[in-house]
Amino acid sequence: MDLTVIICSYNRASSLFNTLVSLEQQALPAGRTWEVVVVNNNSSDRTEDVIGEFVRKGNLSLRYVFEKQQGLPYARNAGIKQAAGEILAFTDDDCITNSDWILSICNEFKSNPSVSGIGGRVELYDSRDKPVTIRPFKERIAFESTAQLFYLVPGCNMAFRREVFEAIGGFDPDFGSGKGLVVDDTDFIYRAFKHGFKIVYSPDVLVYHNHGRRTDDQIRPLKKGYLRGRGGFYCKHVLAGDGDVLKMAYWEIKPLLTDFLKKLCLMQSPSEEACVIANLATGAAYEFINKCHLARRRFF
């Protein structure tokens, strides 16, 4: 098997249906074999029925995986275990793949043998949605610096050679939206980059994000999850002695603290800075507690 598409879904039966329809409409690369692995992450809606419908239709080489432990890292790792492809591609259950998505992924890896990972373009599916969780860059960009980590390669549109997972493992179960730390994909990408794997962003690898968030109230929990995720990411790697991540954390936190103190001195409200600092600290605290629990289990 040349390529496996892994989709993890939790209580998004309707949007998952649209994602799978878009995969049925792919322009197939000549001489290439591919499959779809859909992981039901213990959903309580019609997710299983939707997957069963596509299995019965037979238009896709589709396999169903059930993962009881909720959390995107658990679901992604379950999909990886079942994947037969030499290339593993990931998209989300609220994304619509462009008709040449599979073809573009295959062409990228074929024309660039030294590339081990690809991030792709993400555009809004519905212009009424807020312009968040997108990657609209139109130029091809090499991942060369940790400064690119939080904005370049999107978790909803990425693909890696199997050798990457064999070398660095899967996604860290300490992270993921189920635990309030939206950073499992970023952590994986960072570990791959630190291991020396070449990663690029390709605008030709395109999906449309149908996330449906149109108000500030809908965006706020997402931003909180990303901030807490960054805090958890910083904590994990700083505790492991990673000087590069320590510098990243320093250069994010220093101006926040500076602006916080300036506003206090000027009798202005530093609420925005305080919110960011609090969420970063909360994420770091979550990860520190996780590491303490893990160490305790190992010791006893």
Q: Span 227-236, mean pLDDT?
A: 97
**Picking from 38-47, 78-87, 262-271, 286-295, which range would have the lowest pLDDT averaged per residue?**
286-295
Name which CATH class applies to 3-209: alpha beta
Q: Span 209-236, mean pLDDT?
A: 96
Q: Span 145-152, mean pLDDT?
A: 96
Reference 32, options 125, 102, 123; nearest CA is 102
Question: Over 90: is that where the pLDDT of 300 sits?
Answer: no
Reference 13, options 39, 51, 42; nearest CA is 51
Question: Over 90: is that where the pLDDT of 28 sits?
Answer: no
Question: Over 80: is that where the pLDDT of 66 sits?
Answer: yes
Q: Give every CB contact of residue 58 below 8 A, 6+ residues apart in sequence.
A: none
Q: Span 61-73, mean pLDDT?
A: 96
Average pLDDT across the chain, whole number? 95
Question: Over 70: is that where the pLDDT of 33 sits?
Answer: yes
Quick check: 32 and 106 in contact, CB under 8 A?
A: yes
Q: Name the pTM for this structure.
A: 0.95
Residue 300 in 3-state DSSP?
A: coil
